[in-house]
Amino acid sequence: MSILPALLCLGLSLSQKTHVQAGTLPKPTVWAEPGSVVPSGSTVTIWCQGTQEAQEYCLYRDEMNIPLDRQKLIKPDNKAMFFIKHIYPGRYYCKYLSPTAWSECSDPLELVVTGSYSKPNLSALPSLIMTSEGNVTLQCDSWLGYDRFILTKEGEDRLSWTLDSQRDPSGQFQAQFPVSLMTSSHRGTFRCYGHFWNYPYMWSYPSDPLELLVSGLSLGQKTHMQEGPLPRPTIWAEPGPVIPSGTPVTIGCQGTLEAQEYSLYDEEMLTCLDTQKPLQPSDKAKFFMKDISAGRYYCKYLSHSGWSEHSDPLELVITGYYSKPSLSALSSPVVTSGGTVTLQCGSQKVFDRFILTKEGEDRLSWTLDSQRHPSGQVQALFTVGPVTLSHKWTFRCYGYFRNHPQEWSHPSDPLELLVSEVSEDQFHNPMESQLQNSSDHQDYTLENLIRLGMAGLILIGFEVLLFQALNSEFRTHDGTEM
């Protein structure tokens, strides 16, 4: 592919020659200002230099055989300028026309445009501070699966290195660049980029700059140097990881006391959502998110020795995407202390899974796949217990679909269980329950027998009183008729 543009240019030269064979003219040179690596949206000036007899210059890109631009000079000149307002990444060539013929095409100008993808991270191993003529490894890494990484050093002696990426055990992609033999008179500021094989001239945004400090002291004499990898930060959400739609959220990230900057990322780790630079190093930062989407969030921090690994994911769930399911107790919301109960969460909407949550200080949750009920609705049956009198047992349930696990329905109406020291049957039928319990267990105590006896005497007393009252009324009625 790299030979094809040159052949096309050569073919054009052969077809446009007039008196002499092409190739006798010096090959032109081509370069870009402000440079060959420019941010997306930048304007670029491309220069083409030929000979003093050049009357016309043409600019080409990649395999195109039609000029992007032509410069017909009023008088011959050894160079021409092409101002490109909207530049595209790729290979650019130029050639010029002299009084005798067209020149060959120039060697290619490889013009790189940055900002096509999210920036990678750049850190120093083991430290940003290295000894004079010592060694340090600069690691460029990203969760986006770049095929290659490019490390650049800024300054007059601008340099660049390119390495294929490797996948580390955590799953991210990285390349490690060894830097050595630096003297104490140098300071190096580095950035890195990532790109894919198929688009070698479309690079990511640059990493944050990393300044490498060179000291005459050995690393062992640097008392403030971080030993080993940085601790992984922790991440959390306030007021919690499950919030109603439209609710603002504060995401906290905690690192170490030496942290100088914190960054927050979404699930794809493509773009830094927000950055916090404390006025002084701090072990935590908070990101206020007014409009936030459901998904996974990560954070990391920068200390004097480099960037930490990202945190474990924060699963942020947003409720209110779908209509609420129903929640009921089978067979009753009255439960004996120490007993269990089955709660049914159901919906006519065909959710893949249901979540049951318990409110209160000991907030708990359970998740089950849904099952189709003969009635046509989907449901899940949650066995809860043993319940106790010392807690409040209030539940809600939600539904969601597998493809969107952090997008839940509206919550069901709350269901509060009533916990009693005696069973519901005992509460409604105390005499029958006592008799049944005696029949089942044959455990008659004196107290129970006395209670039964007293109950029987009371019943007999009521019957005697009733009999006497009826008899008295009968006699009175009989006397009246006489």
Residues 274 and 352 in one domain: no
| Per-residue confidence (pLDDT) for residue 479, from 0 to 100 | 52
* Boundaries of domain holding 93: 3-114
Q: Is residue 45 situated within a structural domain? A: yes
Average of pLDDT values for 210-225? 50
Write out pLDDT tens, residues 84-100.
888 889 999 999 999 88
Q: What's the first-to-final CA gap in the chain, in angstroms?
A: 133
The DSSP bridge pattern shows strands 129-131 and 210-215 to be parallel
Provide the pLDDT confidence category of residue 222 given band limits of 50, 70 and 90.
very low
Provide the pLDDT confidence category of residue 482 given band limits of 50, 70 and 90.
very low
Q: Which amino acid appears at position 19 of this protein? A: H
| Per-residue confidence (pLDDT) for residue 180, from 0 to 100 | 62
Residues 376 and 405 in one domain: yes
Q: Which amino acid appears at position 387 of this protein? A: V
Question: In the 8-state DSSP scheme, what is residue 77?
Answer: -
Q: Is residue 347 situated within a structural domain? A: yes
| Per-residue confidence (pLDDT) for residue 141, from 0 to 100 | 92
| Per-residue confidence (pLDDT) for residue 433, from 0 to 100 | 44
Average of pLDDT values for 173-177? 91
Q: Which of 377, 388, 381 is nearest to 417 (CA)?
A: 388
Per the rule left: phi > 0, alpha: psi between -120 and 50, beta: everything else, 269 is left
Position with higher pLDDT, 17 vs 361: 361
DSSP annotation string for 379-406: EEEEEE----TTS--EEEEEEE-TT-TT
d(CA 243, CA 318): 5
d(CA 365, CA 88): 53
Give the residue from 89, 114, 139 where a domain finishes: 114
Write out pLDDT tens, residues 416-460.
988 887 654 544 454 444 444 444 444 445 566 677 777 777 878
| Contact indicator for 79, 33 with CB cutoff of 8 Å | no
Task: With both helix axes pointing from N to C terminus, report the angle between 446-481 and 430-441 in degrees, rounded to the nearest 10.
Answer: 140
Determine which of 197-201, 362-366, 434-438, 444-448 has the lowest per-residue pLDDT on average. Answer: 434-438
Q: Is 339 helix (H, G, I), strand (E, B) or coil?
A: coil
| Per-residue confidence (pLDDT) for residue 272, from 0 to 100 | 82
Residues 107 and 64 in one domain: yes
Q: Which of 202, 273, 208, 207 is nearest to 40 (CA)?
A: 202
* Lookup: tokens for 332: 């009753």
Write out pLDDT tens, residues 50-80.
999 999 999 998 766 778 899 888 888 899 9
| Per-residue confidence (pLDDT) for residue 330, from 0 to 100 | 87
Position with higher pLDDT, 229 vs 270: 229
Provide the pLDDT confidence category of residue 270 given band limits of 50, 70 and 90.
low
| Per-residue confidence (pLDDT) for residue 9, from 0 to 100 | 56
Provide the pLDDT confidence category of residue 126 given band limits of 50, 70 and 90.
low
| Contact indicator for 4, 64 with CB cutoff of 8 Å | no
Burial class (CB in 10 A: 0-12, 13-18, 19+), 48: buried
d(CA 385, CA 130): 60
Q: Which of 398, 380, 395, 378 is nearest to 335 (CA)?
A: 395
Give the residue from 163, 198, 221 where a domain finishes: 221
> How many other C-beta atoms are found inside a 10 Å radius of the C-beta of residue 116?
18
Provide the pLDDT confidence category of residue 283 given band limits of 50, 70 and 90.
confident
pLDDT at 480 over 50: no
Write out pLDDT tens, residues 103-123.
989 999 999 999 888 899 998
pLDDT at 187 over 80: no
CA angle 290, 293, 295 (to 5 degrees): 135
Average of pLDDT values for 308-336? 89
pLDDT at 177 over 60: yes
Share of the chain above pLDDT 70, in %: 77
d(CA 180, CA 135): 4
Average of pLDDT values for 199-207? 92
Question: In the 8-state DSSP scheme, what is residue 476?
Answer: H
d(CA 59, CA 12): 13
Average of pLDDT values for 239-258? 91
Residues 8 and 110 in one domain: yes
Handedness of CA 127, 129, 135, 136 (dihedral sign): positive
Determine which of 111-115, 244-248, 311-315, 424-428 has the lowest per-residue pLDDT on average. Answer: 424-428
Residues 16 and 87 in one domain: yes
| Per-residue confidence (pLDDT) for residue 76, from 0 to 100 | 84
| Per-residue confidence (pLDDT) for residue 303, from 0 to 100 | 86
| Per-residue confidence (pLDDT) for residue 66, from 0 to 100 | 79
Residues 178 and 259 in one domain: no
Burial class (CB in 10 A: 0-12, 13-18, 19+), 29: middle
Position with higher pLDDT, 287 vs 365: 287
Residues 187 and 272 in one domain: no
d(CA 437, CA 447): 14
Number of domains in the chain: 5
Question: In the 8-state DSSP scheme, what is residue 462?
Answer: H
Position with higher pLDDT, 108 vs 469: 108
Tokens 């043993």 correspond to 386
* Lookup: tokens for 435: 């008799």
Mean pLDDT, the chain, whole residue set: 79
Q: Is residue 466 situated within a structural domain? A: no
Q: Is residue 473 situated within a structural domain? A: no
**Helices (H), ranges, 204-330:** none
> How many other C-beta atoms are found inside a 10 Å radius of the C-beta of residue 84?
19
Q: Is residue 104 situated within a structural domain? A: yes
**Domain containing residue 370: CATH number:** 2.60.40.10
CA 390 to chain centre: 39
Residues 53 and 129 in one domain: no
Q: How far lies 100's CA from each of 41, 59, 363, 368, in Å?
A: 39, 19, 87, 83
Q: Is residue 355 situated within a structural domain? A: yes
Residues 21 and 106 in one domain: yes
Provide the pLDDT confidence category of residue 373 given band limits of 50, 70 and 90.
confident
Residues 186 and 131 in one domain: yes
| Contact indicator for 16, 101 with CB cutoff of 8 Å | yes
What is the maximum alpha-carbon separation in the chain? Answer: 159
My answer on whether omega of the bond before 331 falls inside 30° of 0, hence cis, is yes
Residues 433 and 391 in one domain: no
| Contact indicator for 300, 262 with CB cutoff of 8 Å | yes
Residues 154 and 95 in one domain: no
Provide the pLDDT confidence category of residue 389 given band limits of 50, 70 and 90.
confident
Tokens 């240019």 correspond to 9
Average of pLDDT values for 391-406? 89
pLDDT at 359 over 60: yes
| Per-residue confidence (pLDDT) for residue 435, from 0 to 100 | 43
pLDDT at 198 over 70: yes
Q: Is residue 402 situated within a structural domain? A: yes
Give the residue from 221, 256, 274 where a domain finishes: 221
Q: What does residue 309 show for φ and ψ, rounded to 5 degrees?
A: -70, 165
Q: Is 75 helix (H, G, I), strand (E, B) or coil?
A: coil
